[in-house]
Amino acid sequence: MFLLLVALTSLQIIVISNFLLNANSLNLSRHRHAAASVGTKVYIFGGLYNDKIVSSMHILDTKDLQWKEVEQQGQWPCARHSHAMVAYGSQSFMFGGYNGENVLNDLYSFDVQSCSWKLEVISGKWPHARFSHSMFVYKHTIGIIGGCPVSQNCQELTLLDLKHRLWRSVRLEFMNKELFVRSTASILGDDLIVIGGGAACYAFGTKFSEPVKINLVQSVTMSENHLPPQPEDVSLESNKNNADLKTETSLSQPWVIQLERKYAKFGKDILKSFGWLDLERKVYSNEKGLCICFPVTENFSELFHEKQLLGKDFERSEENNLTKGLSLKDISCSAALNLLKEHGAKKLINVAFEAKKVAKSPLQRMREDITSILKQKGLPEELLDELPQK
């Protein structure tokens, strides 16, 4: 230490001393916080201090090594720890964390010019809530990988397309062997390098992940196989960059109907009553849970046109029948379509296509498992006929 101080100039010693004193005066001691650098400044939010979860934000100017606390402006995030932050342009983005009671899945952006936070509303299938995850930036995409709870976040790389403001996800089959908790995610060319991570837990024991390299060109391409969700009345001419838009928006594409959450039950009842609900796909929330998306059949897609105005012959009496306790079956198809339009229904391409898992009986599962064993051992599948049927 003495030799180090001798090597430093008097000015350097003064700068370092002021930096340490300034940091101590702002009470910056913390862990499990998140940080991101924009330009020459480092932005730090949240974390744990003496077992207290904090919501303060500080800026470190690397030019003069001076700290500054940010005054609360805009939609200030709640206190949290084990969250993640990345920088993109003149903004930093923060996702998830733990606030002491709940695991979070909110996304905030911080504008360095106005020094204010904003709660983001993004289209697409929202990521699972998580903490102790990793974030990265690749071109115009922000990525999220790993985190706790492990069971929900394994095998998935979540991508936020900042150009279209759309969530996408890619399934990575090999990730069921890894445990990306508190790991580091770095970009090297077109590759994502994930190093370390793991945990000691009574549920799955002690496990630490091996370094992993993921090709992001392939992953982003896989996630972009579908176009961003667009209302049906968007002009095709405004999408000059999408040469294949006409083929992508054909009726063979899976569609969903988006409704505000307060109208979700009413809309679902209509869709089910007329056989328009696609039972092979999952219902999911959109727009940070403010809207619900219902998968619909191709037949419904042919009938429902948002640009079409409500007909003059719309039978108000049929709508009033609903308030009299009559069944939805007592109204006409056209009246049902108009009711959906009146309640703000929008038809979107379902980029977050997810099929329902078909429940299998114990006998089906047993037969599948034994079939696999027979193939591995090179035994004839006719042996399946000797299995008990109950």
Please tell me the distance from the alpha carbon of residue 151 to that of residue 292, in angstroms, as a whole number.
Answer: 24
Q: What is the mean pLDDT of residues 290-300?
A: 85
**What's the pLDDT band for 237 if we cut at 50, 70, 90?**
very low
Evaluate the CA torsion angle 239, 242, 243, 245 in order and state its sign: negative
Q: What is the mean pLDDT of residues 101-109?
A: 92
pLDDT higher at 28 or 185: 185
Tracing tokens 């039972």 back to the chain, one arrives at 279
| C-beta separation of 349 from 254 below 8 A | yes
> Does pLDDT of 136 surpass 90?
yes
Indicate the residue type of 59. Answer: I
Q: What is the pLDDT of residues 297-349, one digit of tens each?
A: 887 877 887 655 444 444 444 444 444 454 666 678 888 888 898 888 888 76
**What's the pLDDT band for 24 if we cut at 50, 70, 90?**
low
Phi and psi dihedrals of 55, rounded to 5?
-125, 15
Please report the pLDDT score of residue 333 as a whole number.
82
pTM attached to this predicted model: 0.55
**What's the pLDDT band for 83 if we cut at 50, 70, 90?**
very high
Please report the pLDDT score of residue 53 as a whole number.
94
DSSP letters for 171-217: E-GGGGG---SS-EEEEETTEEEEE--EEEETTTEEEEPPPEEEEHH
Please report the pLDDT score of residue 21 as a whole number.
46
Please report the pLDDT score of residue 154 as a whole number.
58
What percent of the chain is predicted at pLDDT more than 70?
67
Distances in whole angstroms, Cα of residue 237 to Cα of each of 233, 242, 246, 320, 349: 11, 10, 10, 41, 18
Which helix (H) or strand (E) segment holds residue 285: the answer is strand 284-286
Please report the pLDDT score of residue 55 as a whole number.
92
Please report the pLDDT score of residue 14 as a whole number.
44
Please report the pLDDT score of residue 217 as a whole number.
82
Indicate the residue type of 117. Answer: W
> Does pLDDT of 377 surpass 70?
yes
In the chain, domain spans: 12-223, 236-349
pLDDT higher at 94 or 333: 94
| C-beta separation of 181 from 147 below 8 A | yes
Residues 6+ apart with CB under 8 A from 105: 95, 96, 126, 127, 128, 129, 130
> Does pLDDT of 209 surpass 90?
no
> Does pLDDT of 88 surpass 90?
yes
> Does pLDDT of 365 surpass 70?
yes
> Does pLDDT of 251 surpass 80?
no
Please tell me the distance from the alpha carbon of residue 285 to that of residue 179, in angstroms, as a whole number.
Answer: 27
Q: What is the mean pLDDT of residues 212-222?
A: 77
Please report the pLDDT score of residue 200 as a whole number.
58
The 3 state secondary structure assigned to 36-70 is EEECCEEEEEEEEECCEEEEEEEEEECCCCEEEEC
**What's the pLDDT band for 239 if we cut at 50, 70, 90?**
very low
pLDDT higher at 241 or 214: 214
Please report the pLDDT score of residue 205 as a whole number.
55
Please tell me the distance from the alpha carbon of residue 135 to that of residue 85, in angstroms, as a whole number.
Answer: 7
Q: What is the largest CA-CA distance in the chain?
A: 92
Strands 166-171 and 184-188: unpaired
**Average per-residue pLDDT for the chain:** 75
Lowest mean pLDDT segment, chosen from 75-84, 137-146, 167-176, 374-383: 167-176
Question: Has domain 12-223 been given CATH number 3.30.70.1110?
Answer: no
Please report the pLDDT score of residue 27 as a whole number.
63
Number of helical (H) and strand (E) elements in the chain, helices listed first: 10, 21
Please report the pLDDT score of residue 244 as a whole number.
34
Please report the pLDDT score of residue 384 as a whole number.
74
Beta bridge mates, 134: 145
Residues 6+ apart with CB under 8 A from 139: 220
Assess whether the previous peptide bond of 149 is cis (omega < 30° from 0).
yes
Burial class (CB in 10 A: 0-12, 13-18, 19+), 232: middle
Please tell me the distance from the alpha carbon of residue 108 to that of residue 111, in angstroms, as a whole number.
Answer: 10
Please report the pLDDT score of residue 232 as a whole number.
38
Please report the pLDDT score of residue 336 as a whole number.
86
| C-beta separation of 117 from 159 below 8 A | no
Please tell me the distance from the alpha carbon of residue 192 to that of residue 159, in angstroms, as a whole number.
Answer: 13
> Does pLDDT of 271 surpass 60?
yes
What percent of the chain is predicted at pLDDT more than 90?
25
Q: What is the mean pLDDT of residues 31-35?
A: 93
**What's the pLDDT band for 5 if we cut at 50, 70, 90?**
very low
Q: What is the mean pLDDT of residues 223-243?
A: 39
Please report the pLDDT score of residue 256 as a whole number.
84
**What's the pLDDT band for 199 if we cut at 50, 70, 90?**
low
